[in-house]
Structure 1
Amino acid sequence: MIKTIQRRLDAILHWNISFVGGFLGGYAILSHAGVFGSAQTGNLMEMASNVRFMEWEELGLRLLAMVIFACGVIASYMLTNYTNLHMRKLAIWVDAAGLGLTALLPDWFSPIAGVYPIFFCSAFQWGVYSGADGFNSATVFITNNFKQSVLGWTQYALTKDKEFKRKAVLYSNTVLMFFLGALLGVTGVAAFGNALGACVGFIPLAVARIFISIGELPVEDETPEETEEEAEEMLEEAKILEKEEKKKI
């Protein structure tokens, strides 16, 4: 089991964090009047409505939400490129802090201001966990993941190319884990309320930290069967790269 986790850690951790991303979204929507704190598309649509109907106070709150989201993007980029911090570990702590702070904010805060911490930690998470197994994949929203999942299965059905199947599996599991995380988020709020419901999100974060710890364990010597399997995977990857190079020519 440990060897399997170590070998597939990139994908397993990505799916785990996608679960967290779904939780953040589901929790924010149910606990804060439908405000989705993990992306800016809905926020921009609401801002257009605010301008049209001259709702300037809410427009200001949403503009600040955009700034906070941008700060999360900038922080993840700067720390990734200009420090030696273990960013995967740090992102887990940032998510935990975001959830904890959201739970502590008073109920009289507006729904938008109440998820400011989630705007930040979602953006930070996205900057750190932006893909797996060579594929770009967000962990805080799901539209492109669903698109790539559908394309992957379609391409595999047409070509029987295992690379397309690998792509389809990665994106399909990302969509599934995001949905399950959102389900846990809304269930946590429904069962325990806004404050304690946020604390439920600490569970998948703890699991992610355990996966990272397992990945840092010393790698044991592989059995002949595992060595053979790894050699086959490397050969398959080499064939894929060869095909891609021929296409470029």
Structure 2
Amino acid sequence: MGNSVSIRNYITRQKQMSEALILNLILAFSGGFQDAYTYIVRDNVFANAQTGNIVLMSTYLMDGKWQRGLMYLFPIFSFMLGVFISDNIQAKFKSAKKIHWRQGIVLAETVIMLIVGFIPQAFNMVANCMISFSCALQVQSFKKIHGNVYASTMCIGNLRSGVTAFSSFLRTRDKRDIVKARDYLIVIIAFALGAGIGGNSSDAFGERTIWFSAVLLIICFVMMGLDKKE
């Protein structure tokens, strides 16, 4: 009984809900979902993977397809703006009492996703910029699981950190390293599931598919509101 309680506490929270595994799994699922949505529904642009956008932008520009190449530039700038604004929100509202600043970020993301669902195909550039901005807010605001740095909207850093933790476990047999590696693996799986479901749902529901991501973010908002530590 005691072990089951400690495991449940480990999964749900550590210092506060924003570092809890379960909340960040939902965010990672939503991150993968958004990436698949923008790529399939919104002109093959990545919401989160700015590395992919830079590769595609550079490829098209060097091929002389300027209009197509510059299409990727605006989401990149939007992502940068999101990181900047999120950082300043944290600095200004870190001690806010009525609502935790991270809850405010999740609420803003939810509103953005709801609006994007109404944007027609003729304005895909606007939709992509809004989602990239939202993703930047999230990745800048939710950086840790159980004290370990991770990203909820991309996988490369999680892959590196997970493999590093597993390698360390093989050398030291420190159980904390294998737990850390497991956390990273679960987050990557959640992201992949979100991408797969988001991609297939996008074919069926089109622009409004993104509203499912809004529902996930509302769940996160409520979870954080129930946690007295937030």
Q: What's the TM-score bracket when you normalise by the shorter of the two chains? A: 0.7 to 0.9
Gaps of 5+ in 1: 218-249
Q: CA deviation at 1:120?
A: 0.4
Structure label with greater radius of gyration: 1
8 Å contact kept, 2:14–2:20: no
Answer whether contact 2:37 2:210 (CA < 8 A) is retained.
yes
Equivalent in 106, 110, 134 of residue 121 of structure 1: 134
TM-score by structure 2 length?
0.83
CA contact (8 A) 1:27 1:198 kept: yes
For the Cα contact (< 8 Å) 2:35–2:48, is it kept in 1? yes
Pair 63,202 (structure 1): closer, same or farther in 2 beyond 3 Å:
closer
Is the partner of 1:33 in helix, strand or coil?
coil
RMSD, aligned α-carbons: 2.3
- Which residue, 191, 202, 207 being the options, matches 2:219? 207
Deviations 1:172-220 (A, max 9, x none): 121111112222312331332222x111112321221232133228xxx
Deviation at 1:63, TM superposition (A): 2.3
CA shift for structure 1 position 64: 2.2
The gaps in structure 2 that reach 5 residues or longer are none
- Residue 28 of structure 2 corresponds to which residue in structure 1? 18
**CA displacement at 1:95 relative to structure 2:** 1.9
Cα 1:150–1:6 shift into 2, 3 Å: closer
Moved more, 46-55 or 164-173: 46-55
- 1:32-68 alpha-carbon deviations (Å, 9 max, x no partner): 2331111321111122123212222233332222221
What does residue range 1-249 of structure 1 map to in structure 2 within 5 Å? 4=9, 5-7=12-14, 9=17, 10-12=19-21, 13-84=23-94, 85=96, 86-109=100-123, 111-195=124-208, 197-216=209-228
Q: After TM superposition, what 4+ stretches of structure 1 lie above 6 angstroms from structure 2?
A: none
Determine the C-alpha separation between the residues in 2 that align with 1:132 and 1:6.
9
TM-aligned CA distance change 1:187 to 1:210, over 3 Å: farther
CA contact (8 A) 2:48 2:154 kept: yes
Instruction: Answer whether contact 1:39 1:119 (CA < 8 A) is retained.
Output: no
| Length, aligned pairs only | 215
What's the CA shift for 1:112? Answer: 4.2
Does the residue aligned with 1:49 lie in a helix, a strand or coil? helix
> 2:44 corresponds to which letter in structure 1?
G
TM-score (norm 1): 0.77
1:35–1:112: 8 Å Cα contact kept in structure 2?
no
Q: Which moved more, 1:19-28 or 1:79-88?
A: 79-88
What is the letter of the counterpart of residue 204 of structure 1?
A: L
